[in-house]
Amino acid sequence: MKTPMICQIEPATFLTRSVTLPVIDVRAPVEFSQGHIPGAFNLPLFDDAGREAVGTMYHHSGQDAAIALGKKIAVLAKNDYLSTLAGITPGKEILLHCWRGGMRSAEMAKLFHIAGYNVGLLVGGYKAYRRYIRQEFGRAARIIVVGGFTGSGKTEILKEIRTLGEQVIDLEQIACHKGSVFGALGQPDQPTNEQFENDLFAFWNRFDFSRPVWFEDESRMIGHVTLPDPIINHLNRGLLLVVETELPYRIARLVNEYAGFNRALLAETVLKIRERLGGTRTQEALIALDQGNFEQVAAIVLSYYDKAYQHSIGRRDPSGVVFFKFTDNDIRRPAASLIKFVKQKSL
> Of the residues 45, 66, 98, 266, which is catalytic?
98
By C-alpha distance, which of 270, 327, 328 is closest to 304? Answer: 270
Active site (annotated) includes residue 176? no
Is the Cα dihedral 78, 81, 87, 90 positive or negative?
Answer: negative
- The set of catalytic residues is 98
